[in-house]
Amino acid sequence: MDKLTIFKSLSNEARLQILEWLKDPFTHFKLQDGIDLAEVGVCVSQITEKLNMTQSTASQYLSTLQKAGLIKATRIGKWTYYKRDEEAIKNLGEFIQTEL
């Protein structure tokens, strides 16, 4: 766990919002044909739309969260889906609780 990369990734309101939305994707996103939002994740196009930003900006935010290890990406055909890495988030919480 690269703590500095993680904390830098969390220093942006939109990236924090993405993590919050992905915590409960069924509440925040529309169902996608044949895709389980909990198992596979949410399509980048839905996240982009909800952020009301360009796809390049949304993709950059998602890339930052992925490099920090807080989300995972799954590619199906030409689409990329994102979901939280709950184990990494749990480990971060434990680190904060025990070390900070």
Q: What is the mean pLDDT of residues 54-69?
A: 96
d(CA 77, CA 26): 22
What one-letter code names the amino acid at 48? T
d(CA 10, CA 3): 11
d(CA 93, CA 88): 9
Q: Name the token pair of 37.
A: 């939002």
pLDDT, tens digit (0-9, with 9 covering 90-100), for 73-85: 999 999 999 999 9
DSSP-derived pairing of the beta strands 79-84 and 71-76 = antiparallel
d(CA 81, CA 41): 5
pLDDT, tens digit (0-9, with 9 covering 90-100), for 7-39: 999 999 999 999 999 999 999 999 988 899 999
